[in-house]
Amino acid sequence: MKQIKTLLIAALLVLGASQTMNAQAKTAHVDVSDIMAKLPAMLEAQKQLEKLSTTYDADYKKMVVEYQTKLAQYEKESTTVTEAVNGERSKEVQDMQKRITDFRDNAQKELQQKESDIVKPIMEKVRLSIQKVGKAKGFQYVLDGSTLLLADGPNLTADVKKDLGF
């Protein structure tokens, strides 16, 4: 009777321990920033954004040079023209300054919007791949490895890269 009691207690302990083990969630990690930095679609997106940025930069510099040239001309001629002409030129210079500022602000907004439009579907593709790989390997949680302080679980970065085709 005493042996049956001991055996029953041991069985309960084993059962309790296995329940505790099953209750723990399986976690893994993945380095999203590494994937994004090396993803061919992201590299292509960066090239597109750099090209657009270069175009905006060239246009901006052209406007600034035109402004500086006009300003220098007006300053040089300011003593030889009437006050009315100087007033008109001053207004023209202020208008040019406003156009330059507006152009710069709009270019920044357009670049940010273009970046968002390009990067959003790429991030979604990466997110779906991480979910697919994580579920296929039986993980309930997959954490972004770039912000982890301790990463004892499996690293799925290589698996996600393989799933994405690079």
pLDDT tens sequence across 10-39:
555 555 544 444 446 788 889 898 999 999
**DSSP H or E segment with residue 29:** strand 27-30
Q: Which of 20-24, 37-41, 82-86, 133-137 comes out lowest in average pLDDT?
A: 20-24
Whole-prediction pTM: 0.68
- Out of 80-84, 91-95, 143-147, the most confident range is 91-95
User: For 91-116, what is the mean pLDDT?
Assistant: 96
Helices 40-77 + 83-136 axis angle, to 10: 170
- Side-chain half-sphere exposure of 62, counting CA atoms within 13 A: 7
**Phi and psi torsions of 79, nearest 5°:** -80, -15
